[in-house]
Structure 1
């Protein structure tokens, strides 16, 4: 389930992670990009994690997860640019985040 915090620091963290992601993967401003913080109740899972999803074409969705709260995510947590093809979500793959 996504986080519904809307305070200034949370929104600033969201914009910061979006900017890092856009720069890292060379995404244009018009390419859809979603950053959300989700709670995880599964055993061994961190209480909060950050999910980043972006589309490079209408049918090509990329996704990665950082096992940290949104405000703790930094450049070192975002995958390398050369990993972009490995982040493509296969068609028909179901997940509860997006």
Structure 2
């Protein structure tokens, strides 16, 4: 099982907020940092999902579920990239931040 989310870092020098997109392999607690951006939108997040599948390569078949929240960055195209790889995307309940594994 995989779980994904964003965290942000506020840079004191540039006064900008940078978002970091990561995926955790729940069984091993291995973290994949997929990328950083100041504007995490749907197309960017979808590309990061493709990059994750390339990184996992044959191991992508070992993961059946990806747990995510209902943030706007996770579009239908993000879900379809993972569904095409055989993963079921599981959305947590609305307004339940503690349900992110």
Higher strand share: 2
TM-score relative to the length of structure 2: 0.35
TM-score relative to the length of structure 1: 0.35
